[in-house]
Amino acid sequence: MTLNNQLETLAAKVGERLLARKLLLAAAESCTGGWVAEAVTAVAGSSAWFDCGFVTYSNEAKQRLLDVPASLLEYGGPGAVSEETVLAMTAGAIANSRARIAVAVSGIAGPDGGSAEKPVGTVWIAWQWERRKLVREFRFSGDRTAVREASVLAALEGLLALLD
């Protein structure tokens, strides 16, 4: 199965579950650059269950559009690629949309930008549905495209798990 087929199949399943629960989804994305939103909007009829996407690549955009506290992003804080930040991103996506469920992705896709503590391929993903929150750190391998692809797949798979 090709990547596009995998994404379309996963996104369609997410859409079926959201429709059954009469929920709207929002996506807050950094390293995936809107790819989660692209995957879900590739499904015909997704306007019935997808409200909006926030592509917040810069720290300033995370603060302005998603209300991520500056203290998380400043030197000495956990940083943009962290559990705390993706949880703040899901909360901000829900607060700034009509959605009741959100997914957030922030990571280091490479080829540069990694460190010993957060190497290239480090990606944090959070999923939030009202009070239910899931968050996970991933260490994906491969080039920039492979890290981003794996992140989108993981984001959609996590939505399915959250909706089970």
pLDDT in tens, 108-142: 999 999 898 999 999 999 999 988 999 999 999 99
Q: What is the pLDDT of residues 20-75, one digit of tens each?
A: 999 999 999 999 999 999 999 999 999 999 999 999 999 999 999 999 999 999 99
Residue 4 banded pLDDT, cuts 50, 70, 90: confident
Instruction: State the average pLDDT over residues 74-102.
Output: 97
List the chain domain ranges: 3-163
The superfamily CATH assigns to domain 3-163 is: CinA-like (3.90.950.20)
Residue 132: Cβ within 10 Å count: 10
Per-residue exposure over 30-48, b if at least 16 CB sit within 10 Å of its own CB, e if not = bbbeebbbbbbeebeebee
| Residue pair 14/160 in contact by the 8 Å Cβ criterion | yes
